[in-house]
Amino acid sequence: MPVQKTEKIWHNGKFIHWDDAKLHVLSHVVSYGSGVFEGIRCYQTLQGPAIFRLREHMQRLINSARIYRMELPYSVDEFSGAACELVRVNKMGACYVKPIVLRGYGEVGVNPLTSPIEIYMACWNWGAYLGPEALAKGVDVCVSSWTRIAPNTLPAMSKAAANYMNSQLIRMEASINGFAEGVALDSDGHVSEGSGMNIFLVHDGTLYTPPLATSILPGITRDTVMKLAADLHIPAKEAVIPREMLYVADEVFFVGTAVEVTPIRSVDKIVVGKGVAGPITRQLQQEFFAVTSGKTPDRHNWLTPVSAPVAATR
Ligand X SMILES: Cc1ncc(COP(=O)(O)O)c(C=O)c1O
Binding site for ligand X (CB under 6 A): 39, 167, 193, 196-198, 217, 219-222, 256-257
Residues that are catalytic: 159
CB of 218 to ligand X, least distance (A): 7
Residue 23 makes CB contacts below 8 A (sequence gap 6+) with 29, 30, 102, 104, 105, 118
Q: Could you tell me which residues are beta bridge partners of residue 267?
A: 141, 270
- Count Cβ atoms below 10 Å from residue 166 Cβ, excluding itself: 20
CB of 17 to ligand X, least distance (A): 27
- Count Cβ atoms below 10 Å from residue 208 Cβ, excluding itself: 20
CB of 39 to ligand X, least distance (A): 5
Q: At 285, which helix (H) or strand (E)?
A: helix 279-292
Closer by beta carbon to ligand X, 49 or else 256: 256
CB of 222 to ligand X, least distance (A): 6
Closer by beta carbon to ligand X, 70 or else 220: 220
CA separation for the pair 122, 109 (Å, rounded) = 28
Closer by beta carbon to ligand X, 273 or else 288: 288
Q: Is the dihedral of CA 155, 242, 235, 261 positive or negative?
A: positive
Closer by beta carbon to ligand X, 115 or else 229: 229
* CB-neighbour burial class of residue 196 (10 A; exposed 0-12, middle 13-18, buried 19+): buried
